[in-house]
Structure 1
Amino acid sequence: MRLRHIEVIQALLQTGHLGTAAEWLQLPVAEVESTLRDAEEQLGFMLFSSVRGRLHATREARELQIEIAHVYEALEPVQRLASSLKQYQAPPLRIICTAPLAHKLLPHSIAALRRRLPDTPCTLLTQPTRDIVKSLLLREADLGLSLHDPDHGDIDCQTIAQGKIQLLAPHGWLQPKQKYISLQDLAGQSMIGLEDHDPLSPTLENKLHALRPAPVIHTRVQTHQMMRSMVEAGEGLALVDPFTALGARTAELDACPLAPAVPISLYALSLKNAEPSPAAQALLDIITEQAAAMLAN
């Protein structure tokens, strides 16, 4: 099968009508019909049957539809790259970060990059750290950002900011102007748990389980942002990264770091020995500045 065959079959699957498919493809109806017949001849079976003026997909066509969808998914990055080369003469800047960084840090940083480089296209995705590493190794991303060091031999890991784990609590739970809270003060408290695939989770939970009485965890969630949402809903307390805790008081939550502090770092991940593009380096500089300002506040 040729790509033209696939385009015609996809259009007919979507529209069910030769004329509409021809308009969609911007082709003469006769050419669409001829391409369909050619595809059926090559395949050796019918793809559509005509019932009252509409084309109905055969069982074979419906099975082909699944693989055709995969073809279009594979073509999408090529089309995006071709579009960017035409418009900007540069490929898009592809950034992948873990979920806590996608809430405020990356949107503000990309907005600042847009003011500096208005024509640079950007793609922002969120993935766990292990998947960020895979994307970098496959050269599907230019820059990764995570709160965890993947400790991978082929990945360059640069610390660009440091903060402290924060306690989030309903408004009024902390004393007025309280700047820190002892881990012992969490003994017996109702808390939100984090799934153990998070590298920081075992360390914190071991500390909490050592308390007497141990905190009570009825609910576990997947991300720090979900933990914050559960605190806002009154489900209990949560220990989160400092980026998730940003703006807590505006949201009528109490927030403060633990004492002794539990440090956490922001890492920039890239493929080892890969030279960053000017846009990637500019964004990394902006992220470093933005992160420092956010954590200072």
Structure 2
Amino acid sequence: MHLRHFEVVDALLRTGSFTAAGEWLGLAPAAVESLLDECEHDNRLLLFSRVRGRLQATAEALQLQSAGQRLLEELEQLRRVTGELRDHRAPPLRLMACEALIGHVLPLSVAALRRRFPDTPCQLACADLSHMQLALLMRQCDLALSLEPATHPDLQSTVLHSGKVHLIAPRGWLGGRQRHANLTLLAGEGMVALEQPNQLGQALEQRLRKLAPPPRLHLRVQSLALLRAMIEAGEGLALVDPFTAHSARLAGLDQCPVSPAIEVKLYALQRTGAETGAALRALSEIVSEKAIEALAG
């Protein structure tokens, strides 16, 4: 099948008419219909039937679209790169970060980087460690920011900063007097935790189970944003990383480090031996600065 034929099939599936598909592809409706006829004839497939003057996709057309979606995405990426080369634009800096960093540290860091390198576009994504590592290994990401070190031998982890695990609680729960919260305070208390905790979360839950009586883990959620919202609603307490605790403090929740202290490190993940341009090196420095500022507040 020719690539142009597949583009026509995809456009017709998206728009539902020769006229709209023509506008999508920059072709006359008659040209779209001709290309579809040619595609169906060459491949001996019926991809669309005409029912009362309207196009109706066949099962074969839907299967074709599903199988070729990756091809279209790669083609679009190729077109973007070609446009950047033609216009002499810098390639985008592709960044990924864990959820704890996207509410404060990452946006402030990227904004500072863009002021220093205004001609460098950025692509941002939120992901967990496994997806970060896969994107780095497939060269779909230049730098990932994580609270966990890389586990793959072809990736390197650089510590940018570190902080402590914090307790976050509804406003007034700590009474504004405590600078640290001993884990024994959590015995028998209602707790909120992530549905799929990372290595730190799993280690914290193991510690909590040793308390007498152990806390009541009565609510699990899928994101840190939802976890914080449930704490704001008075649904319990939570142990979180220092960056999530910083966001909670800005939202008016009580928060303080736990005792004994539990360290959390912020890592920059990259492919081992990958080239690093000036913008990428600057970003690592900026993230470190913004992390220090956030945790010092």
SS in 2 for 1:231: helix
Moved more, 116-125 or 21-30: 21-30
One-letter amino acid of the counterpart of residue 177, structure 2: K
Aligned to 1:119: 119
Number of residue equivalences: 297
Shift in Å at residue 77 of structure 1?
2.5
Tell me whether 1:16 sits opposite 2:16 in the alignment. yes
**Could you say what secondary structure the match of 2:236 adopts?**
coil
- 1:45 is matched with which residue? 45
Q: Which residue of 1 aligns with 2:101?
A: 101
Contact 1:100 1:243 in 2 (8 A): yes
Structure 1 residues 48 and 175, CA, compared in 2 at 3 Å: closer, same or farther?
closer
Once the 2 structures are TM-superposed, how far is the Cα of residue 277 of structure 1 from its aligned partner? Answer: 1.8
| Cα gap change, 1:11 to 1:131, in 2 (>3 Å) | closer
In structure 2, C-alpha distance between the alignment counterparts of 1:251 and 1:71, rounded to whole Å: 44
Asked if the contact 1:192/1:217 (under 8 Å) is kept, the reply is yes
Could you list the runs of 5+ residues in structure 2 that have no partner in the other structure?
A: none
Distance 1:137 1:28, change over 3 A: same
The Cα of 1:191 is off from its aligned counterpart by 0.9
- Residues 167-206 of structure 1, C-alpha deviations (whole Å, 9 max, x = no match): 0011111122321111111111111123454101222112
Distance 1:39 1:148, change over 3 A: same
Counterpart for residue 274 of structure 1:
274
Q: CA deviation at 1:99?
A: 0.9
**SS class of match (1:200):** helix
Pair 1:166 & 2:166 matched? yes
CA–CA distance in 1 between the matches of 2:206 and 2:40?
63
Could you give the per-residue CA deviations for residues 83-142 of structure 1, whole angstroms, max 9, x where no partner exists?
A: 333445322101111111111110111111111111211111111112211111111110
Question: Which residue in the other structure is 2:188 paired with?
Answer: 188
Counterpart of 2:200 in structure 1 is 200
Provide the secondary structure at the position in 2 that maps to 1:119. coil
Deviation of residue 255 (structure 1)? 0.5
Q: Which amino acid aligns with 2:270?
A: S
Alignment match, 1:130:
130
Structure 2 residue matching 1:124: 3-state secondary structure:
strand
Change (3 A) 1:45 1:176: closer
Residue 179 (structure 1) aligned with residue 179 (structure 2): yes
The change in CA–CA distance for 1:175 and 1:197 in structure 2 (over 3 A counts) is: closer
Distance in 2 (alpha carbons) for counterparts of 1:224 and 1:50: 49
Tell me the distance in 2 between the aligned counterparts of 1:265 and 1:137.
22
Inter-CA distance 11–207: structure 2 relative to 1 (3 Å threshold): closer
| Separation of aligned partners in 1, 2:223 and 2:23 | 46
Give the match for residue 225 of structure 1.
Answer: 225
- Supply the distance in 2 between the matched residues of 1:21 and 1:254 (Cα, whole angstroms): 55
Return the alpha-carbon distance in structure 2 between the equivalents of residues 282 and 23 of structure 1.
43
Paired residue for 1:214? 214
Name the residue aligned to 2:64.
64
- 2-structure distance, mates of 1:168, 1:206: 18
Identical-pair percentage: 46
* Cα distance in structure 1, aligned partners of 2:190 and 2:15: 55
Give the C-alpha shift of residue 215 in structure 1: 0.8
Bigger CA drift: 144-153 or 24-33? 24-33
For 1:255-274, list aligned pairs within 5 A: 255-274=255-274
Does the 8 Å contact 1:169/1:236 carry over to 2?
A: yes
Which residue of 1 is the match for residue 6 of structure 2?
6
Aligned equivalents of 1:115, 1:67: Cα separation in 2: 42
| Cα distance in 2 for residues equivalent to 1:45 and 1:202 | 53
CA RMSD across the alignment? 1.9
Any unmatched runs of 5+ in structure 1? none
Q: Which amino acid aligns with 2:234?
A: G
